[in-house]
Structure 1
Amino acid sequence: MRTGSPIRVAVVNDYAIVVAGVAAMLAAHRERVKVVELDSGLPVLTDVDVILYDTFGQVQGDGVDLEDLVHGSSARVIIFSWNTQPDLVERAIVKGASGYLSKALDGEAMVEAIEAVHAGTIVLPRDEAGGTVDDPSAERGAWPGREVGLSHREAEVLALITQGLSNQEIAERSYLSINSVKTYIRLAYRKIGVTRRTQAMLWGMQNGFEPDRIRVVDAEASEA
């Protein structure tokens, strides 16, 4: 464990805008947490203390390949998600995650959780009831389509459509009921002005909903 220096963090998700949004939330706390690598669709290469895995459009729970994330390092993994169902959280922790955070947290709370995980504490969502956070007032960070009014859930469903998943696969990936998936699809279609799935997929491909393959490394990190 490093002492007297910021905790080194990598943020991971398949969408560059998502990882950049998470990094921006932590930017005001550079003296405590230093984001040294942002990875979209690529493995973490820098020696970091904590890997923050954002679940937007990704596999979740025990489906997360933690060994692939840590890439043989001693980094601890924190799952950052809107889905905080107790069974989902439990499976992620049992598989080896060191923390599971709700996306309703602000930057200060995230940093406190990262510090706790770095110190060896298992951190769980503060909402003991668990569930799926879906309060527009709690939405933080960034995601594709936010500029046109898509909520985080609508954007995630559209991202999965763009990836070619069926409604049932989307429900299984995002831990939503099939009826909820259909509701989010209707709302998203209305906001982006389409009526058919093929139109939605085309719109998604033209508006940043295809997964990225980008790595951004802090220049100082490679020298540390």
Structure 2
Amino acid sequence: MRTDTRPITVAVVNDYELVVAGVNEILKPYADRIKVIELDVNTAVSQPVDIVLFDTFGCYDGMAGVAESVARRWLPGRIVLYTWELNPAAEAVARAAKVDGAVSKGLGGAELVEALEAVHSGEGFVFRDNEPGDADDEQANGNLRHSHDWPGRAAGLSMREAEMISLICQGLSNAQIAQHAYLSPNSVKSYIRSAYRKMGVSTRAQAVAWGIQAGLLPEVGRTAV
């Protein structure tokens, strides 16, 4: 149990402005416990924070690369990966990368805050998955559990589908995407086919052009809050 009553300071980091803004909205109701002091888009955090919460959406490097990059560039007190990519293989990679936690985007706001508090208290590696179920099915039905946002959402792309297109825009092959996202090649193909239907495209070149227009290439910038 925490004896320090000050809010835990957090920097939310990702390469997409919509993504970090969405995470900030999720945490706003818990400002007495978690204080988001920076929203960082592919830039270094400019002030000390207790935790860097790194959203892995559209990240090229994969979990181990993300952890190494965050540790080198931001030097936070603790690092937490925020991702859909939670399964035994992903957990093993996160542990090996020596981050302080990996938490699911399927968690509600209160559960996310509890996970961050557990990380801050030094309980060791914190792994918090959501309840079993297909998060993309929830998104497709409009039953989002909280206020995530991402490029391509307005066109009907689920977060998983949008991430596939963002990685295509960054030049990854289907095999590389599968390795990055801890998915089978068939699952990757299924997400891409579904995304193409919603986008109204049929070729990879068309998908790249659509993705660039929709903001699915990484951005650069930072907003202090």
Same fold (TM over 0.5): yes
CA RMSD of aligned residues (A): 2.3
Question: What residue ranges of structure 2 are gaps of 5+ in the alignment?
Answer: none
Shift of 1:6: 0.9
Residues 22 and 63 of structure 1: CA distance in aligned 2, closer, same or farther (over 3 Å): same
SS at match of 1:215: strand
Distance 1:197 1:96 in 2: 36
Match of 1:125 in 2: 128
2:114 is aligned with 1:107: no
Shift of 1:133: 4.9
Out of 191, 195, 201, the residue aligned to residue 202 of structure 2 is 195
SS at match of 1:18: helix
Match of 1:184 in 2: 191
Residues 98-152 of structure 1: per-residue CA shift (max 9 Å, x gap): 11101110111111111111111131124598x9854424564111111111111
SS at match of 2:48: coil
| Residue pair 1:171, 1:181 contacting (<8 A) in 2 also | yes
Out of 70, 78, 81, the residue aligned to residue 80 of structure 2 is 78
Shift of 1:52: 0.5
Out of 154, 162, 169, the residue aligned to residue 147 of structure 1 is 154
2:105 is aligned with 1:98: no
Structure 1 segments, 4+ long, off by >6 Å, are: none
Shift of 1:183: 1.1
Distance 2:129 2:56 in 1: 18
Residues 142 and 97 of structure 1: CA distance in aligned 2, closer, same or farther (over 3 Å): same
Shift of 1:176: 1.3
SS at match of 1:171: helix
Shift of 1:92: 1.2
Distance 1:80 1:203 in 2: 26
Task: Return the TM-score normalized by structure 1.
Answer: 0.88
Shift of 1:164: 1.5
Residues 76 and 195 of structure 1: CA distance in aligned 2, closer, same or farther (over 3 Å): same
SS at match of 1:65: helix
Task: Return the TM-score normalized by structure 2.
Answer: 0.88
Percent identity between matched residues is 45
Residues 106 and 190 of structure 1: CA distance in aligned 2, closer, same or farther (over 3 Å): same
Question: What residue ranges of structure 1 are gaps of 5+ in the alignment?
Answer: 219-224
Distance 1:19 1:31 in 2: 20
Q: Which segment is superposed worse, 59-68 or 165-174?
A: 59-68
What letter matches 1:125 in structure 2? R
Residues 164 and 34 of structure 1: CA distance in aligned 2, closer, same or farther (over 3 Å): same
| Residue pair 1:85, 1:132 contacting (<8 A) in 2 also | no
Residues 215 and 153 of structure 1: CA distance in aligned 2, closer, same or farther (over 3 Å): same
| Residue pair 1:171, 1:178 contacting (<8 A) in 2 also | yes
Match of 1:222 in 2: none
Residues 68 and 2 of structure 1: CA distance in aligned 2, closer, same or farther (over 3 Å): farther
